[in-house]
Each structure stands twice: as C-alpha cells, then as structure tokens.
C-alpha cells in the first residue's frame, strides 16, 4: 500500500477544524500511520473500521486514525493503540469487491486519545486536539537542510522512491511539516514513525529524523557494499562464462565442432594432473595441440586420441604403499599354500633382502616348475603380502618384440606392448607383475622379445623403459617382476643370468591329498555356493581322483575335477536331492565318467625287448615303455614314435654300445649284417625329448637280441655313451615321483645323480629301491631277468 502513498504536500495544513465534537469515530491502523498535512490512500477491510467510516461519511467526513502497537491484534483495546493519533478528513471513497473500501485521507492535526468510549459497532474516542508551534530559527533551518540532503542520499541509495519526491520538498518551508513529510516517505518501522508523530517540538522532531535518516543510510551503505562484493565475485565467473560462450559462438560461425574443444580442454586438464616429467608433459600437450589442428574424425585424429587416452590411463605417479612385514608375509604364504616349505623360505629371504636394501633392484624371482604347482598363486600371495597390485601376462608364444615393446604409432591399430598394458591394468606404479612362461618365448625375424624383456628387467635401464607406442620413457623401476617357467633350461641365458631361480617341484600323492583337503576343496565348495555338510567326498575318493582322473605334477586338473564334482552336486541339490550328497569311490564314475588313467604300470610281466624308462615331461615325471623288435634284414635301424633328434642320437649310441659289447652279452657279433632293428617309443602324445632314454633303449635292444626278458618292475633313466658309460640326467625328483606313481619297485639312476637324492622328499623314496649305476653293464645286471648271472669280463 505504501508504494502509491506519494503523499502530497498540503499548503493548508493548519486548516481550522470545522466540526468539533466530544466523540469521534476511531479507526486503528495496522503497520502504518498518517501525518498531518499528508494525503494518504488506505484500504479498509475490518468490519468495525467500515462501520466507523460509514459513520464519518454520514456526518462531517472526519475521523481519528491511530496506529496499533501490534499489527497482529485483530480487536485492539485502548492499550493496544498508541495514544497519539491523527485527525483526518476523508477525501475520497471507493468501494472494492469483497466489501473492502479504498479511501483517500488527508491528515489535519495530531490528537491525543483520552479515552475509548465504545467499541461496537465501531470504536469511538474522546480526544484532545494538539496544536504545534512552528518556529523557524537558524538551527532549525540547518536541521531542515541536513534532513533534506540526507533524505536525498537516502532516495538515491535505496532506489525505491522516485527522485521527484526530493524536489517536492523544496516547496515546504515549515520545519515540522518537512519532518512529517520526510518521515512519511521513509521505509522504516512503525515505532520510529510513531516517535516522529509523538515529538511535538519541531526542532526535536527534526533532530530525531536526522538520527533516523543517518541510521538508515548506514544500513543502506552496508547493503550496497555487500551487494557490490557479491557482484564482483559473480562478475568474474560471469565474465568467464560470457567469454566461453562467445568462443563457442565464434567456433560455430567457423563451422568448427565445439565438443572437440571441450574434449581438448579436458585432455589438457587431465595431463596437468598426471604428474608427468616436464619432457613427457610437453610431448603430451604437443599431441593435444596436434589434435586441435586436425579435422575431427580423420584416421589420424583417432590415432592421436588413442595415444592420449593411453597416456592418461597410465599410473605415472600413483602407487601403493609398500608393506614388507616378513612375519605377515609368512603367514599369508602359509595360509594360501600347503607345503612348499623351501620355496616359501626362499621367497621370504628374497623379500627380507629387498626390505634391507630398500630397493626393488637386484635379481628377479623366477619360479620354475610344472604347471599347477602354485607358481601363480605364490606370486599372488607375494603381492598380497606386500600390499601391491597384481597383474600377470604370459610370454608363451610371444615371438615378436613388439608384443613387449609395442608397435610404432604409424601402424593403424597400434597398441603399447604388454608391459605398458599391464601397468595400465595395475593402476599403480609399483605392482607385482608376473611374467608367465618366460621359457616359451621364441625369436624370429620380427625381433627378439627376449632382449626387450632384458631391458624391462634390468634395474639399470628400466627406470626409463621405452615403449615404441608411448615414445616417452616410462619408469618401471618400482615394479616387482616375478617370472615363471616350466623348464629353466629353456630360458634364454642372458635372462636366466638376471634371475634367482626357485624350483617349485611337483607334488607327491600325499601332498596332493593334503592340498585338496585343506585348500582346493574348501575353495571350490565356496565358489559353488555350497556349505560344509552339503557334499561329502571321502579321502579315498580324493585319492581315486588323484590316481585315476588326473595325471599331473601339479594340482590344476585335480582342482578342475573337484570343481566339476561340486558343480554336479550343486545341480542335484538344486533339483531337490537330499543333503548331503555323498561321493564315494563307487559312484565316482557316475559323476566323472570312466577313469582317464589306469593306475599302475602298463607292463605287469617280464617281456623280451621291452624296457621301462623314466621321462621328464612338463606335467611331471612319467614312465615310458620302449619296445625293440629285431627282424631279419640288412642292418637297418627304424625309429618310430614322436622322437626328437636327441633321442635318435641316443638310439644310435645304444646300438653302437650293443655292437661293441655283443660278444660279452651273448649276442651274435654280426647281428648288424642280417638283422633290421625297429625301436618304438609309444605314447607319442607326450614329447620325450632328451638323451635320458639312452640306457632304456640299450636295455630293450640287448633284451631283444639276447632274448633275455627285462624285469617289469625295474625302471631306469640315464644317458649312454658309445662305450656304455651312464651319464647324469635332469629332473630326478619328478622322474622318481613318476616311478612311484606307476608302482615301480626298483629304479636305476646314473651314479652322478646320486647326490641329488638328498633333495628328494622321503615320501617319494618310500617303497622305491634306487640303485645308482655307472655303467651299462650294471644296468643290464639289474634289469635283465637271467637264470644264471651274466659274467662280464671287461
């Protein structure tokens, strides 16, 4: 309502009161008041007020207005109304919809309300009219000027009143009226306004007004400061926004893709955060600039983008905190693995040295052993013990240097090498990286992966590893590399020199049983969502699985077979079969089908021309029956089975020995002229490379030519020379294990290998008679079944 309350200045404020009465209709005002001399619009809605108004209209249009102390009070008593009010004349009256009335009143004079006479149907009051003396001295004039100028400032600052109201003040010469006029315009509390009304002395009234104005100005000033501060802050972000929008518009005008720029900006920001070395950062930012200049969607842009994505994905500075706590490492290794005491010990020693030297420099661990013996899981445990990330990749079949070192970006679809890929997967600068099958790399015209790997593993060079794709050096010095191999012999020599080889041998049946019971079965049970007591697999069943369904040095197939048992059991449980599902030796076939391997040895009786050898295979030791048949002919030698060159040479050597010793062995010395010899090594699926079958071939040959049977329960291993000396072989432990598994009783080994027996666990030797032999004659003595002992005369 106050908005259009531009009270006009009335010239005749001291107009005589035309009607004087005892009782006046009274209208309480809420949140406002009317000063004498002001014309003010009001809206009337309360019933009593309307009644009062009507009463005034039927008489002399005069009534009393007084402010309520509390605007909230609906039906005020005398105490709720200020004592000093205003006598007004109603100038205009307009009825509004909903029974409201709008009036225009003109203040005539200040009045004091003496008493309230009635309150219904409207208030009436006894009053006293107050007249005020308007003296104009210098001081008053000064106060007037000051009030006017303060008010002008107020209007300008508040921006809520039109400037004209200031101009209209010039026409007022009476100090009291000026004060009332200004006070009526101010947006201040009713209490303050009432105070002005109640101050009869004009000088005092002006002083009070000046105080109120100064106070208001101060507040306005403060408000202004705050808003400028806020605006200043807003301005900057608005400015940036505005500039960016303009930039967008310009790019749109130029027909450029604006998403591209957002992308470029994002690349730049990400690169800043990577913690790159200055050179690398420069290179990366240069690539972003290159991308900027390229039309989007071209093949080259795709290449650059791919490159940048790789840079961003790599852990340039992120790393996990190392925690080399040997006790904890030991408990983790023990918890994850049964047995392997020596291996664990070596690993812990290795870690202890790393801890003392505080560096990852030094030899690389290389775990050597057949598949499934826990090499990978040992490496995983090492990572867990060190609190490092773990990644692995296989070098098996890697023949191209680029697989290690990446392709140059000139190739379409080029990628970084496996090392950098692993670093990305690890998301940390210091993971444990397991390089599987280092012995299975090969090199050809595409470069030598082994030499690239050498650089990766070399602590002197790998802090600035060069990947062809990346083009910038990457620091691998914090990485802990662990390698695995099936056969240390096949690791390229320069690589082997850098490694600390730890042999992880195959397991005996007893060990396998323990691993199955303690680790594999609980693990698989959980993996298949089963609970203890759901499935029962007895120890004899496990042993049957080990013997008849797997044939391996490790436990990988054992684990797989157990997994398939649990899978089938889970299916039965879901199908509603009663728990527990019992798997016994008798119903094993129902679950796993017929056994894949017959336990025991192929031969169970002595045979002529058939000797049992021991071989090393990647899945552990095994036995092999070598057969020789002699037929009439012209001295030909035929070899069948999957034989390598080395084995063929062994066959030749065996033949030469036999000819050399023919007479002593009771063999026709000229057999070579009229006999053809055929040597067969069956079970060709398992590669049997190596010279260690030499004495076996010779035994079978002698047996065939002399018609003396070979004892079925004897197996042998050893290389043979032309004169019949027995030379040492490798993989003794695995071979003995194979013999034990096959039910062999006596094993002939080269004398030179005798000291290796110390390394062989007692369990394996249990039930085996191991006889070290130095010469072929001794071999024959033990292997051939003869009625009367052959006597050798050297």
Minimum separation from the CB atom of position 555 to ligand ADP (A):
5
Q: Which residue, 434 or 626, has its beta carbon nearer to ligand ADP?
A: 434
Q: Which residue, 313 or 563, has its beta carbon nearer to ligand ADP?
A: 563
Cβ neighbours around 385 below 10 Å, total: 24
End-to-end CA distance of the chain: 138
Residue 647 · residue 729 · CB < 8 Å: no
Report the C-alpha gap between 3 and 162 in whole angstroms: 11
Report the C-alpha gap between 558 and 564 in whole angstroms: 10
Q: Which residue, 216 or 511, has its beta carbon nearer to ligand ADP?
A: 511
Minimum separation from the CB atom of position 353 to ligand ADP (A):
24
Range list of H helices, 662-747:
671-674, 694-706, 732-742
Phi, psi at 85, each rounded to 5°: -135, -160
Report if residue 374 touches ligand ADP, rule: CB under 6 A. Answer: yes
Q: Which residue, 478 or 551, has its beta carbon nearer to ligand ADP?
A: 551
The DSSP secondary-structure symbol of 159 reads -
Q: What is the residue whose two structure tokens read 């000819």?
A: 659
Minimum separation from the CB atom of position 344 to ligand ADP (A):
9
Show contacts with ligand ADP in window 612-641 (CB under 6 A): none
Return the biggest CA–CA distance within the chain. Answer: 169
Active-site pick, 692, 706, 708, 733: 692
Quick one: which of 125, 347, 515, 744 contacts ligand ADP (CB under 6 A)? 515
Is 692 marked active-site? Answer: yes
Q: How many residues bind ligand ADP (CB under 6 A)?
A: 18
Residue 81 · residue 67 · CB < 8 Å: yes
Quick one: which of 467, 552, 559, 622 contacts ligand ADP (CB under 6 A)? 559
Stretch that binds ligand ADP, among 206-214, 232-240, 331-339, 618-626 (CB under 6 A): 331-339
Quick one: which of 143, 347, 555, 677 contacts ligand ADP (CB under 6 A)? 555
CA distances from 639 to 65, 94, 524, 632, 648 (A): 133, 129, 46, 16, 7
Report if residue 202 touches ligand ADP, rule: CB under 6 A. Answer: no
Quick one: which of 148, 214, 377, 629 contacts ligand ADP (CB under 6 A)? 377
Active-site pick, 177, 375, 688, 735: 735
Report if residue 36 touches ligand ADP, rule: CB under 6 A. Answer: no
Minimum separation from the CB atom of position 369 to ligand ADP (A):
6
Quick one: which of 519, 551, 735, 741 contacts ligand ADP (CB under 6 A)? 519
Report the C-alpha gap between 16 and 473 in whole angstroms: 103
Cis ω on the peptide bond leading into residue 580 (within 30° of 0)? yes
Report the C-alpha gap between 328 and 322 in whole angstroms: 13
Range list of H helices, 337-448:
341-357, 375-386, 401-405, 418-426
Distance of alpha carbon 125 from its chain centroid, rounded?
Answer: 83
Minimum separation from the CB atom of position 375 to ligand ADP (A):
3
Distance of alpha carbon 162 from its chain centroid, rounded?
Answer: 64
Show contacts with ligand ADP in window 455-484 (CB under 6 A): 484
Report if residue 376 touches ligand ADP, rule: CB under 6 A. Answer: yes
Site string for ligand ADP, 160-199 (x = CB under 6 A): ----------------------------------------
Nearest one of 450, 461, 452 to 496, comparing CA atoms: 450
Report the C-alpha gap between 718 and 703 in whole angstroms: 17
Report if residue 554 touches ligand ADP, rule: CB under 6 A. Answer: yes
84-95 vs 101-118, strand pairing mode = antiparallel
Report the C-alpha gap between 94 and 32 in whole angstroms: 20
**List of residues 6+ apart from 756 with CB closer than 8 A:** 732, 733
Report if residue 521 touches ligand ADP, rule: CB under 6 A. Answer: no
Report if residue 750 touches ligand ADP, rule: CB under 6 A. Answer: no
What are the residues facing 89 on neighbouring strands?
Answer: 62, 106
Report the C-alpha gap between 453 and 442 in whole angstroms: 12
Minimum separation from the CB atom of position 296 to ligand ADP (A):
46
Report if residue 371 touches ligand ADP, rule: CB under 6 A. Answer: yes
Report if residue 372 touches ligand ADP, rule: CB under 6 A. Answer: yes
Q: Which residue is nearest to ligand ADP (CB)?
A: 374
Minimum separation from the CB atom of position 517 to ligand ADP (A):
10
* Entry field: residues in the chain: 794
Q: Which residue, 184 or 484, has its beta carbon nearer to ligand ADP?
A: 484
Report if residue 340 touches ligand ADP, rule: CB under 6 A. Answer: yes
Stretch that binds ligand ADP, among 20-28, 311-319, 549-557, 580-588 (CB under 6 A): 549-557
Q: Which residue, 554 or 750, has its beta carbon nearer to ligand ADP?
A: 554
Stretch that binds ligand ADP, among 31-39, 257-265, 333-341, 667-675 (CB under 6 A): 333-341
Report the C-alpha gap between 368 and 375 in whole angstroms: 8
Quick one: which of 25, 76, 176, 339 contacts ligand ADP (CB under 6 A)? 339
Minimum separation from the CB atom of position 482 to ligand ADP (A):
11
Quick one: which of 177, 337, 344, 775 contacts ligand ADP (CB under 6 A)? 337
Q: At what angle do helices 190-198 and 175-185 cross, to 10 degrees?
A: 170
Binding site for ligand ADP (CB under 6 A): 337-340, 371-377, 484, 515, 519, 554-556, 559
State the catalytic residues.
692, 735
């Amino acid at each position: 309502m106050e908005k259009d309350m531009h009270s006009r200045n009335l010239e005749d404020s001291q107009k005589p009161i035309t009607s004087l009465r005892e009782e006046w209709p009274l209208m309480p005002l809420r949140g406002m008041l009317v000063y004498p001399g002001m014309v003010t619009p009001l809206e009337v809605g309360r019933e009593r007020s309307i009644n009062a108004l009507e009463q005034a209209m039927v008489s002399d249009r005069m009534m009393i207005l007084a402010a309520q102390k509390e605007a909230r009070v609906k039906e005020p008593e005398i105490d709720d109304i200020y004592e000093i009010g205003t006598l007004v004349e109603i100038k205009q009256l307009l009825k509004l919809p909903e029974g409201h009335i709008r009036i225009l009143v003109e203040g005539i004079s200040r009045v004091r309300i003496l008493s309230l006479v009635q309150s219904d149907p409207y208030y009436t009051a006894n009053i006293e009219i107050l007249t005020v003396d308007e003296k104009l001295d210098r001081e008053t004039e000064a106060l007037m000027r000051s009030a006017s100028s303060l008010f002008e400032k107020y209007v300008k600052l508040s921006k809520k009143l039109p400037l004209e109201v200031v101009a209209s003040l010039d026409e007022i010469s009476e100090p009291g009226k000026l004060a009332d006029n200004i006070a009526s315009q101010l947006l201040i509390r009713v209490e303050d306004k009432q105070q002005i009304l109640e101050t009869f002395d004009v000088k005092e009234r002006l002083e009070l007004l000046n105080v109120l104005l100064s106070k208001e100005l101060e507040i306005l000033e403060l408000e202004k400061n705050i808003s400028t501060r806020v605006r200043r802050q807003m301005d900057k972000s608005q400015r940036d926004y505005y500039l960016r929008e303009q930039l967008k518009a310009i790019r749109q005008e130029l027909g450029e893709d604006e998403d591209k720029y957002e992308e470029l900006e994002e690349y730049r920001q990400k690169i800043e955060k990577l913690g790159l070395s200055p050179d690398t950062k420069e290179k990366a930012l240069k690539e972003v600039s290159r991308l900027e200049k390229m039309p989007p969607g071209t093949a080259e842009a795709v290449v650059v983008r791919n490159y940048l994505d790789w840079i961003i994905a790599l852990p340039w500075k992120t790393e996990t905190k190392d925690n080399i706590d040997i006790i904890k490492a030991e408990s983790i290794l023990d918890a994850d693995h049964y047995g392997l005491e020596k291996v664990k010990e070596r690993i812990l020693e290795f870690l202890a040295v790393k801890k003392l030297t505080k560096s990852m420099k030094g030899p690389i661990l290389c775990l050597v052993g057949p598949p499934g013996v826990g090499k990978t899981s040992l490496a995983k445990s090492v990572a867990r013990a060190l609190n490092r990330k773990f990644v692995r990749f296989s070098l098996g079949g890697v023949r191209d240097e680029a697989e290690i070192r990446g392709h140059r970006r000139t190739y379409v679809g080029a990628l970084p090498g496996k090392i950098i890929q692993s670093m990305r997967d690890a998301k940390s600068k210091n993971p444990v990286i397991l390089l599987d099958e280092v012995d299975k790399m090969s090199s050809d015209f595409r470069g030598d992966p082994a030499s690239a790997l050498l650089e990766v593993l070399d602590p002197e060079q790998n802090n600035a590893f060069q990947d062809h794709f990346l083009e910038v050096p990457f620091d691998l010095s914090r990485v802990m590399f662990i390698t695995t191999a099936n056969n240390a012999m096949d690791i390229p020599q320069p690589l082997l020199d850098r490694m600390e080889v730890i042999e992880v041998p195959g397991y005996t049946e007893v060990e396998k049983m323990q691993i199955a019971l303690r680790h594999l079965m609980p693990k698989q049970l959980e993996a298949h969502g089963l609970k203890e007591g759901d499935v029962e697999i007895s120890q004899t069943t496990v042993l049957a699985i080990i013997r008849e369904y797997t044939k391996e040095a490790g436990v990988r197939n054992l684990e797989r077979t157990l997994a398939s048992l649990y899978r089938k059991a889970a299916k039965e449980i879901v199908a509603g079969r009663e728990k527990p599902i019992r798997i016994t030796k008798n119903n094993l076939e129902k679950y796993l089908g017929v056994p894949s391997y017959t336990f025991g040895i192929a031969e169970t009786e002595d045979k002529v021309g058939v000797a049992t050898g021991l071989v090393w295979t990647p899945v552990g030791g095994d036995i092999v029956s070598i057969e020789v048949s002699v037929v009439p002919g012209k001295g030909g030698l035929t070899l069948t089975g999957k034989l390598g060159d080395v084995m063929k040479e062994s066959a030749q050597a065996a033949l030469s020995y036999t000819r050399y010793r023919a007479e002593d062995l009771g063999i026709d010395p000229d057999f070579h002229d009229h006999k053809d010899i055929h040597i067969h090594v069956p079970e060709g699926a398992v590669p049997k490379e190596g010279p260690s079958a030499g004495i076996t071939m010779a035994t079978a040959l002698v047996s065939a030519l002399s018609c003396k049977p070979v004892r079925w329960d004897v197996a042998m291993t050893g290389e043979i020379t032309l004169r019949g000396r027995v030379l040492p072989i490798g993989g003794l432990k695995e071979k003995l294990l194979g013999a034990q598994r096959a039910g062999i009783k006596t094993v002939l080994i080269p004398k030179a290998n005798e000291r290796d027996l110390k390394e062989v666990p007692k369990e394996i030797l249990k039930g085996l008679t191991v006889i070290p032999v130095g010469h072929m004659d001794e071999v024959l003595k033990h292997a051939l079944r003869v009625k009367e002992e052959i006597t050798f005369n050297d």
